[in-house]
Copies of this chain bind each other. A is one copy, B any other.
């Protein structure tokens, strides 16, 4: 069981984007998000809110739950570690 701090969507997002043959610019336009933010998401610099997940999934012509399913598969066997100070 691998401990992680956050769910990171970078690899899933990039894979799906490329499978649609979209540039980041194209995906940004389709999702009404900022192009540089797409870049940051793909590099796991930032994580999206639920609304952003919906926007991205819609832009990728898939259901948000399908997008999340992809994440589940990537993070199977991982546990999110929450630290208490």
Contacts and interface: CB of A to CB of B under 8 A. Distances in A.
Interface of A: 6-7, 9, 32, 47-51, 53-55, 58, 63-66, 68-69, 71-72, 75, 80, 82, 84
How many copies the complex holds: the figure is 2
Contact of A71 (B6, B47, B50, B84): B50
A64 B72 contact: yes
A65 B84 CA distance: 27
A50 B51 contact: no
A80 B64 contact: no
17 contacts: A7-B51, A32-B82, A32-B84, A47-B51, A48-B49, A49-B50, A50-B50, A50-B68, A51-B80, A54-B75, A55-B82, A63-B69, A63-B72, A64-B68, A64-B71, A65-B65, A65-B72
